[in-house]
Each structure stands twice: as structure tokens, then as C-alpha cells.
């Protein structure tokens, strides 16, 4: 652990130095030719008046005649940033900027960081409504719970562009994709397994919703929080209904997974096939003896960062066959960066009005399928890595087609058409970045590192 902490400090130091050197990570570049002053008569006045007139008559033309079709906002109030907590909007900006970089490089999506001080959920949603005309989609990021659930639900109902909370839907989609393949590895079916949700925050609440959409038997799910097992007869259940209606709903719908009220945490693991942990950094949050109480060929996802709830080696010794974490230095990283760039690529290309849970499921299925087809799956490989960039066009195509099927797209496409379109867009972005770097237009960093 001492070596890991020392290595982390080195990354902190290097990151700060490079952020200062480059003055941030993204910039705006023109995409049209500007060869002489007269070109502005087309791109600006007087020529620009005609696109404006057309859009005034039909606002949806803003998706065809402006960059809106490919531009999203990455929006945060800085109340729950990474593992840092409530650090404020200014401190959240580097993270939102980093997210914008991932959107562009992995999905070909232009993303604008927007941080703000609208802490009240209603004001937050109002802000999203006010800026809606500028964007083709909204990515919510790093918002404290339970406010994050309310904001997402309200915004999805009020805006006519896709609104996505990556800490919820992105992570939940990656978890589902990983679980699909993990269960294939151990020879079990999703509809048959007993699942422990260890933690009922943003990602696990969203994952619970995906399970419901899949028709999973919710009485075969047990959720554990700091309050204990969520149960209809738990202490302060009426108070929970007011303070966290989403956890209350899980308590009522699962019935505590059939456990007696006020059962100790370890009882949740009895006879479980799967644990999806998204709680607080460990180690020691999940005990090996709890994993030992699970069924044979157990699957354990310990997703807390920077340290998982239980070390993978401990989980394996305790009987888990497939173990996943949120870290890149262990096998089976469950990474929402495999999801959000592709999902937005797909919904932007068909000018979708929303992102449904079934669209997220389509993304998960395609992601799992890609991993199986490209190199096969096993105990140490249930998901592809971010370097396998061909996964992004495939997931984009699956999402776009599902949006068309569900009637939430403004334009139609086929899987093959979107696969070709997304491959071209993402591939072109990667080529541009390589050219800028190779030709020295992006300046060399002041320190040598393996980036």
C-alpha cells in the first residue's frame, strides 16, 4: 500500500504540473475554412441571417444548420466530485474538462464544461431548461444524492434533448455489461441469480432500475446501506420515505430480499450469487467471511475508488470466481468510460429526445457482445478496455437503432449506417489529434512521461 500511495502522489504532482503548463485540457477550434476576410460573409453577417431565419421557423433545424447536433453540456454543481466530495464548482471544473476530453477522443462528441452554484434541485433543473437551446444533450456529473435522482428525473421529463447522469446510468450500464459476461463465465443466468446491492447510491439505484426493466425478480435482490438491509419493516422506514424515496422504493419492492427485518449485514450474503458493491473505499468494507457465505462460483464487483471494498485476492480466496473493480491495475475494470461516449454518439446522430433505460440495456448488451467476440471472455476478461476503440461505434449503433425503434429519434438510421457514421466521426477525431501532436502543434510537455 505504501508503494501505491507513493505512486499516487507522483501522479498528483505530475498532473498539476501539466495542467498548469497546458492551461487546461480542451479548446475550441473552427471546423470551416477561413482563407480570407470575405469568408466571414458566409459564416457570419450577412450570410448567417438565412440559417437563423430558417431555424426561427423550425427550431429543429438547429440540429442541421449549427454545431448543436454534436454538442453537449457537462454540468455539475461540485457537490460530489470523484472521491473528493463537496469541493465546489470551481474545483469541479478540471474534472468536467477531463470528461469533455474523453467525450471528444472516445466518442467524437464536443462537450462544454458548465459548473454552477444552483444547489437547489429545482434551480438546477431550471438552469438546464434555460441552456437547452444551445445543446444536443446534457451529461450530469458529480451531484450529491438524493438530489441527483430528482434532477435527472425532472430534467428527463421537461427537456426535449437527452439528459444522462453518468454516475448513475453510465456506471450502471457498464456494471450490467460486465455482469452479463461474468454470469456466462460461471454458467448462471441473470433471471436466476440472487443479487446483493452493497450500497444504494447513484450507480446502484440506476442498476436496480435496469434490473427492473429486464424483468428481474426483485425479491431476489437485497440492498444494503449504512442503515443496514433495506426492508419494509426496518427502523425509521417512514423517515426514509421522506429523506430518500429511492431507497424507500427499493426497500418496499424487494421486501428485504426475503430476510427478516433488522438482519445483520452478513445475512445478506447468504445464498447470494452476485455482489455489486458501490459504497465507500476499502479495504475491509466487505469482509472475506461474508463472501464465503455466498453460493459457489460467486461474482463480486467491488467498485469503490481508489481502494475497492475488498481486495480481489481476498475475494477470490473467500470463494469468488469472477471479481471486478473500478481500477485499471486489476483485471475486469468496470469503467463507465466504455459507455458514455458511445451512448451520446448514438443519440446525437439520430437527434434523440431522451435516453431510455432500454437504450442503456441495448448499450450494455452490445458492450458485452463486443468483449465476447473480440478476444473472448473469461474470469479475468469480462469487458473490453478503452484502447479497443472499435467498441464505441458498435455501442453507438446499438443505441441509435434502439432510439429509432422506441420513437424518440428525430431521424432514422440502420445499425450499419450508424456504425459507419460513428466509425468515421471517431476515427477522424483520433487522426486529427495524432496529426496535431505529431506536427508539434500541441506542444511537447515540459516533463517526460509515458502518456
DSSP secondary structure of 321-338: EEEEES-TTSSSB--GGG
Q: How far apart are CA 272 and CA 146, in angstroms?
A: 27
The grid coordinates of residue 295 equal 453460493
Q: How far is CA 163 from CA 11, 66, 384, in A?
A: 33, 20, 26
- The residues near 93 (Cβ < 8 Å, ≥ 6 apart) are 113, 115
- Which residue blocks in 292-447 are alpha helix, DSSP H? 312-317, 340-349, 357-373, 391-405, 415-438
| 342: its cell numbers | 458511445
Burial 25-46, CB ≥16 within 10 A → b, else e: bbeeeeeeeeeeeeeeeeeeee
* Separation of alpha carbons 382 and 178, rounded Å: 6
Q: 353 with 410: CB under 8 angstroms?
A: yes
Instruction: Give the integer Cα–Cα distance in Å for 138 and 147.
Output: 17
Structure-derived torsion over alpha carbons of residues 382, 383, 388, 389, reported in degrees to the nearest 10? 160
CA-to-CA distance for 275 and 325, rounded, in angstroms? 12
Return the closest-CA partner of residue 185 out of 318, 294, 312, 323.
323
Burial class (CB in 10 A: 0-12, 13-18, 19+), 149: buried
Active site residue 22: no
**For residue 403, which of 418, 391, 392, 389 has the smallest C-alpha distance?**
418
CB atoms within 10 A of CB 185: 17
Integer angstrom CA distances of residue 180 from 26, 183, 263, 341, 367: 35, 6, 29, 21, 10
Which residues make beta-bridge pairs with 323?
A: 300
Catalytic residue among 12, 13, 44, 239: 44
The three-state secondary structure class of 195 is strand
Spatial CA neighbour of 356 closest among 173, 197, 127: 173
Residue 44 is a catalytic residue: yes
* Active-site pick, 25, 86, 93, 99: 99
Classify 160 in phi/psi space as left (phi over 0), alpha (psi -120 to 50) or beta.
alpha
Active-site annotation, residues: 44, 99
Amino acid at each position: 500500500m505504501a508503494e501505491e500511495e507513493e505512486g499516487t502522489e507522483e501522479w498528483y504532482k505530475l498532473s498539476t504540473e501539466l495542467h498548469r503548463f497546458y492551461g487546461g485540457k480542451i479548446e475550441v477550434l473552427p471546423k470551416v475554412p477561413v482563407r480570407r476576410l470575405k469568408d466571414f460573409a458566409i459564416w457570419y453577417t450577412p450570410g448567417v441571417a438565412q440559417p437563423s431565419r430558417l431555424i426561427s421557423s423550425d427550431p429543429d433545424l438547429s440540429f442541421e444548420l449549427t454545431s448543436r447536433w454534436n454538442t453537449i453540456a457537462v454540468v455539475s454543481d461540485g457537490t460530489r466530485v470523484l472521491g473528493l466530495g463537496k469541493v465546489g464548482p470551481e474545483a469541479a471544473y478540471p474534472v468536467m474538462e477531463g470528461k469533455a476530453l474523453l467525450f471528444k477522443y472516445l466518442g467524437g462528441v464536443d462537450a462544454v464544461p458548465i459548473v454552477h452554484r444552483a444547489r437547489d434541485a429545482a434551480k438546477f433543473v431550471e438552469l438546464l431548461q434555460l441552456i437547452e437551446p444551445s445543446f444536443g444533450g446534457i451529461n450530469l456529473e458529480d451531484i450529491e444524492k438524493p438530489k441527483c435522482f430528482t434532477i435527472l428525473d425532472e430534467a428527463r421529463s421537461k427537456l426535449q434533448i437527452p439528459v444522462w447522469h453518468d454516475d448513475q446510468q453510465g456506471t450502471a450500464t457498464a456494471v450490467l455489461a460486465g455482469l452479463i459476461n461474468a454470469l456466462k463465465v460461471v454458467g448462471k443466468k441473470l433471471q436466476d441469480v440472487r443479487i446483493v446491492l452493497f450500497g444504494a447510491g447513484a450507480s446502484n439505484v440506476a442498476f436496480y432500475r435496469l434490473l427492473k426493466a429486464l424483468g428481474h425478480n426483485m425479491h431476489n435482490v437485497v440492498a444494503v446501506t449504512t442503515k443496514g438491509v433495506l426492508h419494509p419493516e426496518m427502523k425509521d422506514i417512514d423517515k426514509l420515505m421522506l429523506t430518500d424515496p429511492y431507497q424507500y422504493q427499493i426497500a418496499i419492492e424487494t421486501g428485504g430480499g426475503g430476510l427478516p427485518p433488522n438482519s445483520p449485514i452478513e445475512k445478506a450474503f447468504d445464498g447470494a450469487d452476485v455482489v455489486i458493491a458501490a459504497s465507500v473505499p476499502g479495504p475491509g468494507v466487505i469482509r472475506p467471511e461474508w463472501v464465503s457465505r455466498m453460493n459457489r462460483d460467486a461474482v463480486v464487483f467491488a467498485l469503490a475508488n481508489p481502494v475497492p471494498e475488498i481486495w480481489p485476492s481476498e475475494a477470490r480466496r473467500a470463494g469468488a470466481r469472477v471479481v471486478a473493480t473500478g481500477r485499471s491495475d486489476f483485471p475486469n475494470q468496470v469503467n463507465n468510460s466504455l459507455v458514455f461516449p458511445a451512448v451520446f454518439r448514438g443519440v446525437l446522430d439520430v437527434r434523440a429526445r431522451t435516453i431510455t433505460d432500454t437504450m442503456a440495456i441495448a448499450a450494455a448488451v452490445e458492450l458485452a457482445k463486443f468483449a465476447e467476440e473480440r478476444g473472448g471472455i473469461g474470469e479475468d476478461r469480462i469487458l473490453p478496455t478503452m484502447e479497443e476503440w472499435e467498441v464505441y461505434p458498435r455501442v453507438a449503433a446499438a443505441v441509435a437503432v434502439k432510439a429509432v425503434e422506441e420513437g424518440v429519434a428525430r431521424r432514422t438510421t440502420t445499425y450499419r449506417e450508424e456504425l459507419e457514421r460513428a466509425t468515421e466521426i471517431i476515427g477522424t477525431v483520433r487522426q486529427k489529434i495524432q496529426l496535431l501532436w505529431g506536427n508539434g502543434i500541441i506542444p511537447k510537455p515540459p516533463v517526460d512521461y509515458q502518456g
